[in-house]
Amino acid sequence: MSNAIHPDYFKDFRVTKDEEEKPIELKEEQVLSDLSQTAGWKVLKEYINDLKEMLDKILQTSMESGASFEEIGQKTLVVTLAKSYLDQVIERAEDAREAIQSE
């Protein structure tokens, strides 16, 4: 009997090859690049990283309080997905900055 969480659960949330290749409009990329160079971006990025730490703490607290393996597995899945999406926000702005700077 295998009740382990398998990576296949993530396949619905992964970016497909076609989605990766869609070009971002230059105007949007410029706006994101400009944003990533402001003090506001630094504050927002720190907030996003704080949210990721909070998600880890929620999971850790569940484990320490004796949650079942099923509950821990479900929370691990949710935390992993949420952190992945938060990372995508950061990457989107920073990738735009790098793309604009390299032109």
Parse the chain into domains and list their residue ranges.
Answer: 38-103
Mean pLDDT over 6-26 rounds to: 59
Q: pTM, whole model, 2 decimals?
A: 0.70
Q: What's the whole-number mean pLDDT along residues 66-87?
A: 95
Angle between helix 69-101 and helix 39-64 axes, rounded to 10 deg: 160
Structure tokens at 102: 């390299």
pLDDT of residue 22: 58
Q: Give the pLDDT of residue 102.
A: 84
Q: Is the pLDDT of residue 9 over 60?
A: no
pLDDT at position 26 is: 79
* 37-49 per-position pLDDT tens digit: 999 999 999 999 9
